[in-house]
Structure 1
Amino acid sequence: MINRDWPLVFKPFPLKAEKGRGAVSNLQGRYEVLGRERFDDGWTHEDEEEDGRRIVTTVHHEQAKTILSRNASPDIPFGVSLNPYRGCEHGCIYCFARPTHSYLGLSPGMDFETRLFAKVNAPELLRQELAKPSYMPEPIALGINTDAYQPCERTLGLTRRVLEVLHECRHPVGLISKSSLIERDIDLLAPMAADRLAGAAVTLTTLDPTIARTLEPRAAAPARRLRTIRTLAEAGIPVSVSIAPVIPFVTEPDLEHIVQAAFDAGACSAHYIVLRLPWEVSPLFREWLEAHFPDRAQRVMNRIQDMRGGKDYDADFATRMKGEGIWADLIRQRFEKAVARYGVQGPDRFGGLDTSQFRRPLTVPTKEKAGKHAGQLDLF
């Protein structure tokens, strides 16, 4: 018999970070049909084994229909990009690509960093695309939405195989990553760089390993990224440093030190981006702040809104990367002075890559074999 007088009230579920994960929750995506809400059902115990709560990463293999994405955004320095993976295990809480998981009916929160999708036919589709008579070469940005060198790349090798196609076709490519795994492909990148066909950008958000461990938990540590910059530069590969995002009172105090450290490691150029909070990234970032920096959470959000016209985010092309207002101007001035002081060039990234050496692939897979991720190629 049910006691109608017993109040069915659940305690609020406290925000608690999961070790090795960026998102604090599995926030509902904006296209999900069913709603969900966090609450404490009484079954969670403080003495519960941590391993028992740990969320496992899964990688789903998918057959992509297309592989090259094109954009005409005036504030993005490339027109074509290729992403071998959807979702990213690095778990960076600020990642602007998180909302794309909503299109899959999944959460931009924990799902984005634990339920990944690998485009296993990416190399074959790229070869087909480059073989088209109508294809006109321009630098391809590799790994822009999600890191092409995230942990699952060690076993799947999709990025490596994509680079082999680009190497064979003498096609220019620019890579951006937070992973030291990019060093694995120096044998391909170094000779391409010598012919102005390859460049790399390494994202360096902070020099503080404690902050990095929660902000971007499964990416390489800051010191390891600096070593990667040095290794790539010594191999003759031009390296740009992406100081992104600049987060007021969290990573912003490191700005000048990052520029200096990047210069000392051999970087040839640098650029920065102020924190962007599109769609579900905003509530996810707010949860992260409350979990890790409750003492300054409101202060951080106040400064972000100062740079976004009073909102969490403004998507206007003219201001979305750098912000606006006094704080945005101060960050810009600090960056420009640091660049001048330490001898690093301003934004360049992949502008000097050469498209004139491109040659179409001699062999291409049939559509059927490209769809089945076949290893054997047919003559065209």
Structure 2
Amino acid sequence: MSADRLRPPVPTARKGRGSASWVAGRYEKQVAVAEDDGWDALQMLQDEASAPETVVVEERARSVLSRNRSPDVGFDRSVNPYRGCEHGCIYCFARPSHAYLDLSPGLDFETRLFAKTNAAERLRVELAKPGYVCAPLALGINTDAYQPIERRYQVTRELIALLGETRHPFSLITKSAGIVRDLDLLAPLAAQGLVTVHFSVTTLDHRLSARMEPRAAAPHARLRAMRALAAAGIPVGVMVAPVVPAITDHELEAILGAAREAGADSAGYVLLRLPHELKTLWREWLDLHYPDRAQHVMSLLQQLHGGRDYDSRFGHRMRGQGPFADLLAHRFARARRALGFGRLPPLRTDLFVAPRPPSPQGTLF
């Protein structure tokens, strides 16, 4: 194992990073962990690892259009411009996907990123297939399409340009204010009924946000971006996600109210989900930042999931069950009704024009 995969054994809070450690992925066959040899080498390794740098690998994807049959999400296809996410949200349900790359869902997920630089090219090929049937596409679901490296690589912008060219409907969900850079592309598409945007807001507390989602836009910046998109005529909504018992659940009504004031027309919420390695990462984070209530938080989560840290069943994983889940659902429904939230307009599919399939002879006319 290479030296950069040698993992200090002690989880440590790192400024600008959500994860506290390199938790081993579930498919790793061996993990090298440093041990103290009495010569201060372990402390030196801890110091070097305290601020891991972001490394981006440019990759050439073979395909980019992912399909799903999940009954509790509102789309059956998606495109993710990047793998890994520098936002570093400790609660991110996509963290375990890094295990497929033999990388840690912990610090590797937010420091070892992959940019699909040919994503627009591959999507063009897939949209041009004779059997392709147009339906709304979700852009940037597994990891944020507007994470910081988008400023450099602009893979998301290239995809939006292609979707605009073919008049293909799509939706975005982000926790980044960087989306305003693409207002020139998004506003004309919104006027044709081809795009909607949701902003994910977890908390309005800037200090808590800095610990939970260290490189995402601050809460007030997300609300400002939401206001800018709404003013440009783009249908926007808010997702209070994730709702964390005993840490953020008390903010539900305040987040909905702030989003409504910023121009959001629809609202939803999702409970904290802890699949696979995320259980370990979340417990580490709780012990570091909320040692006084860590046991209480986990007790509430287990009550929501039938005594387990997480229950992945469709229809259950997003909302949970039991008295706490019922109370949260009641509070959300009441606030949604009082604030006048509705639904975003349906996306049009009748305008789609398939791109011409690429030809080795090029374009003659």
TM-score interval, normalised by the smaller of the two chains: over 0.9
CA deviation vs aligned residue, 1:226-263 (integer Å, no higher than 9, x gap):
00110000000000101100001111111000000000
Tell me the percent identity: 53
CA deviation vs aligned residue, 1:19-66 (integer Å, no higher than 9, x gap):
0000000000000010344655543559x9978841100110111111
Q: Does 1:290 align with 2:290?
A: no
Give the corresponding residue for 2:118: 121
Q: Does 1:31 align with 2:17?
A: no
With over 3 angstroms needed to count, the CA separation of the structure-2 counterparts of 1:49 and 1:145, relative to structure 1, is closer
With over 3 angstroms needed to count, the CA separation of the structure-2 counterparts of 1:131 and 1:16, relative to structure 1, is same
Give the corresponding residue for 2:316: 319
Give the corresponding residue for 2:350: 356
State the alpha-carbon separation in 2 of the partners of residues 204 and 287 from structure 1.
Answer: 23
Give the corresponding residue for 1:103: 100
Q: Which residue, out of 152, 156, 176, partners 1:155?
A: 152
Q: Does 1:279 align with 2:273?
A: no
Aligned length: 356
Q: Which residue, out of 40, 43, 48, partners 2:41?
A: 43
**Which runs of 4 or more aligned residues in structure 1 lie more than 6 Å from their structure 2 counterparts after TM superposition?**
48-52
- Superposed CA RMSD: 2.1
State the alpha-carbon separation in 2 of the partners of residues 322 and 106 from structure 1.
Answer: 30
One-letter identity of the residue aligned with 2:148: P
Secondary structure of 1:338 counterpart: helix
The answer to whether the Cα contact below 8 Å between 1:248 and 1:303 also exists between their aligned partners in 2 is yes
State the alpha-carbon separation in 2 of the partners of residues 283 and 163 from structure 1.
Answer: 36
Residue 192 (structure 1) shift: 0.8
The answer to whether the Cα contact below 8 Å between 2:35 and 2:42 also exists between their aligned partners in 1 is no
With over 3 angstroms needed to count, the CA separation of the structure-2 counterparts of 1:60 and 1:318, relative to structure 1, is same
CA deviation vs aligned residue, 1:177-214 (integer Å, no higher than 9, x gap):
11111111111111111111000010000000111001
Secondary structure of 1:226 counterpart: helix
The answer to whether the Cα contact below 8 Å between 1:241 and 1:271 also exists between their aligned partners in 2 is yes
The answer to whether the Cα contact below 8 Å between 1:24 and 1:110 also exists between their aligned partners in 2 is yes
State the alpha-carbon separation in 2 of the partners of residues 335 and 278 from structure 1.
Answer: 24
With over 3 angstroms needed to count, the CA separation of the structure-2 counterparts of 1:228 and 1:13, relative to structure 1, is same
Give the corresponding residue for 1:169: 166
State the alpha-carbon separation in 1 of the partners of residues 191 and 33 from structure 2.
Answer: 54
The answer to whether the Cα contact below 8 Å between 2:9 and 2:33 also exists between their aligned partners in 1 is no
Give the corresponding residue for 1:252: 249
State the alpha-carbon separation in 2 of the partners of residues 145 and 58 from structure 1.
Answer: 19
Give the corresponding residue for 1:9: none
Q: Does 1:301 align with 2:295?
A: no
Residue 13 (structure 1) shift: 4.9
One-letter identity of the residue aligned with 1:76: V
Give the corresponding residue for 2:212: 215
Residue 365 (structure 1) shift: 3.8
CA deviation vs aligned residue, 1:45-92 (integer Å, no higher than 9, x gap):
59x997884110011011111110010110011111000100000001
Q: Does 1:15 align with 2:11?
A: yes
State the alpha-carbon separation in 2 of the partners of residues 240 and 276 from structure 1.
Answer: 21
Q: Could you tell me the TM-score, scaled by structure 2's length? A: 0.93
Q: For structure 2, which runs of at least 5 residues remain unmatched after alignment?
A: 1-7
With over 3 angstroms needed to count, the CA separation of the structure-2 counterparts of 1:49 and 1:144, relative to structure 1, is closer
State the alpha-carbon separation in 2 of the partners of residues 257 and 219 from structure 1.
Answer: 20
With over 3 angstroms needed to count, the CA separation of the structure-2 counterparts of 1:320 and 1:379, relative to structure 1, is farther
Q: Which residue, out of 229, 232, 236, partners 1:232?
A: 229
One-letter identity of the residue aligned with 2:309: D
One-letter identity of the residue aligned with 2:102: G
With over 3 angstroms needed to count, the CA separation of the structure-2 counterparts of 1:50 and 1:222, relative to structure 1, is farther
State the alpha-carbon separation in 2 of the partners of residues 297 and 58 from structure 1.
Answer: 32
With over 3 angstroms needed to count, the CA separation of the structure-2 counterparts of 1:260 and 1:34, relative to structure 1, is same
Q: Could you tell me the TM-score, scaled by structure 1's length? A: 0.89
Secondary structure of 1:24 counterpart: coil
Q: Which residue, out of 316, 336, 344, partners 1:339?
A: 336
The answer to whether the Cα contact below 8 Å between 1:28 and 1:36 also exists between their aligned partners in 2 is no
State the alpha-carbon separation in 2 of the partners of residues 52 and 146 from structure 1.
Answer: 24
State the alpha-carbon separation in 2 of the partners of residues 309 and 18 from structure 1.
Answer: 33
Secondary structure of 2:41 counterpart: coil
